[in-house]
Amino acid sequence: MTAPTRIGAFEITAKDACTHARAGLLHTAHGAVETPVFMPVGTQATVKALEPRDLRENGATVILGNTYHLMLRPGAETVAAMGGLHRFMGWDGPILTDSGGFQVFSLAKMRKLTPEGCFFNSHIDGHRVFLGPAESMAVQRLLGSDIAMAFDECLPWPCDLERAERSVATTLRWAEDSLAAPHAPGQLVFGIVQGGVHADLRRRCAETLASMPFDGFAVGGVSVGEPEEAMYAAVDASVPHLPESCPRYVMGLGVMSQMTECVARGIDMFDCVIPTRVARHGTAITRSGNVAIKAAKWERDPGPVEAGCTCYCCSNFSRAYVRHLLHAGEILGVRLLTIHNVHRLCEFMREMREAIAADTFAQFRESVSRQCASGNPLDRQPDN
């Protein structure tokens, strides 16, 4: 009898001959995740506008929850009392929880940073909250996520070298504290590489984290306003110093063209609010660029949101109908666009996995590059 695969094991199933792209399987307590993978964001124990069955039907295999937000509402103890985050939200697949470290960056006007952690004023009612590595890991343990992220400090862009050096020292200290804290049974823990745009700092941070017994590693502090070239440089400065045997994750990235380039650099996992956020503003992500469905030219258009798409929205409704729902303020319009957008990104990742397995990733990457050069760079060029 074959022994069950160890939780936390990462199997590389295929490699591209020309780049660092690889396909793999990450084994978690709630099942294996095929990589490269895009993770829809469920900040408050829900991916906005979608049910768990929508996620499964549209190819999502792992989703992300937010430690800071769930700590404030409904509270980690409440989630634990309800059987943990999986049971609470009705999702039986893997869940990754961020550490709350991003809020150190995003709530800069509402927080005070100390060597031990960060004091926040709650965005809900203003009450004082403290979050450090011990507190973050305690919340993630109560949530019972499959993958917990180490608490870190996400740097803004731009950031000078002296400030970045202090921050990396803090992130590395917090990484040790995060590993030392108790974890839920079967819970994996990922470290996060920081260092801003400073390559030597990125290398030092990555090498130090790689010496610690993390189950995976993330490249953090990207997609925070820096130029695209600086983002790729940060990935290039980090990945070569991380173990090939562990999954690698770029945090906060959901642009198809950028995910393709990061996969070529050896990245396996991504998350972003893009598919749900732009749907709420009436925008569809398509292989030919973003489409503003509210535009007047779609008023009587009988075609689907994206030709050839097999999602529920495109299989059953016209652009004209979805546009009508959006202009009428009907919730269904946002829901249908969210279904389409999540389907589009998950389908894109499936195509990428297949290309790696078939040794055609170079052609896949080239097709993405040609699309960008044509002036419709996949999901980055609005169609108004």
**Residues designated as active site:** 98, 271
- Asked if residues 188 and 215 have their Cβ atoms less than 8 Å apart, the reply is yes
Q: How far apart are the C-alpha atoms of 107 and 240, rounded to whole Å?
A: 31
Cα distances (Å, whole numbers) of residue 113 to 66, 70, 129, 170: 20, 21, 12, 11
Compute, in degrees rounded to 10, the torsion defined by CA atoms 331, 336, 341, 343.
140
> Which DSSP string do the residues of 53-72 spell out, in sequence order?
HHHHHTT---EEEEHHHHHH
Compute, in degrees rounded to 10, the torsion defined by CA atoms 39, 40, 43, 45.
-100
- Asked if residues 364 and 21 have their Cβ atoms less than 8 Å apart, the reply is no
Nearest residue to 144 (alpha-carbon basis) of 192, 194, 78, 196 = 78
3-state secondary structure of 111: strand
Vertex 264, ends 263 and 270: CA angle to 5°?
A: 10
Up-side HSE of residue 243: CA atoms within 13 Å toward CB? 19
